[in-house]
Amino acid sequence: MSIRRETWLPLAIAAAFLTLALGGQAVGDRIVAAPSNATTAAVGRASLSYLTGIRRYAGAVLWNRVEPLLHGYYDGVPLYEQRYMLSTIAAVEWLDPTFDQPYYVGSWILSRNGKVSEGLDMARRGTERIPQSGTLHMSYAQMLFVLKRDVKGAVEQSMLAVEPSMSWADDVEKINGYAAIEQLLRQAGETARADAVAVEIDRLDEIVGKTAPTDVHDHNGDGTPDH
């Protein structure tokens, strides 16, 4: 099966399912003799629900093809040179605005290719659309600090990233994110806050144990392995 056919066949099946589902919804409304405006509203609700699901599914299909390239075939290629990914990243963002990875990757590719304003806008958009993503707040904080010299904004985003309500893919990603935040806070002169983050890093290191990558075992830079 060709790559194109393999990609679009599931989408065609999903589209067919959508047609059947909407038709079934309309038939059901007629059976109960609902007024025409009620039928329209019901079909509208079903359309929105199913179309949203299909769009997210399509976004996942596209991203599942991009991610192996980012971390596999093009693993040795600097992120800023991977401009060819931008069109696909933009498509995934449109298909599923609640998926965090396109904002995280795309904003840095844009910024490192001279489009700093667009990159910052994309990073900000990600934190607004997915406010519970610790990764996006951490990344936006770094961009504000490095690219815009906005220390106040960077600190604000950093503190949002370490809120207990934030979501991370796993504890290892959280450790790496917290390590970046700790260093940013120290450079910003927020020593007390940085120390508090370092304590949390040590706690997470104890939880993760030997499963953590070797490059994150001394996050606080004191020269002593954290575990």
Query: How does pLDDT run across 123-179, given as a tens digit for each residue?
Result: 999 999 999 999 999 999 999 999 999 999 999 999 999 999 999 999 999 999 999
Query: How does pLDDT run across 183-192, given as a tens digit for each residue?
Result: 999 999 999 9
pLDDT at position 75, please?
Answer: 53
| CB-based contact 89:104 (threshold 8 Å) | no
Query: How does pLDDT run across 15-25, given as a tens digit for each residue?
Result: 554 454 444 44
pTM greater than 0.75 (yes/no):
no
SS3 of residue 218 by DSSP: coil
Q: Is the pLDDT of residue 111 over 70?
A: yes
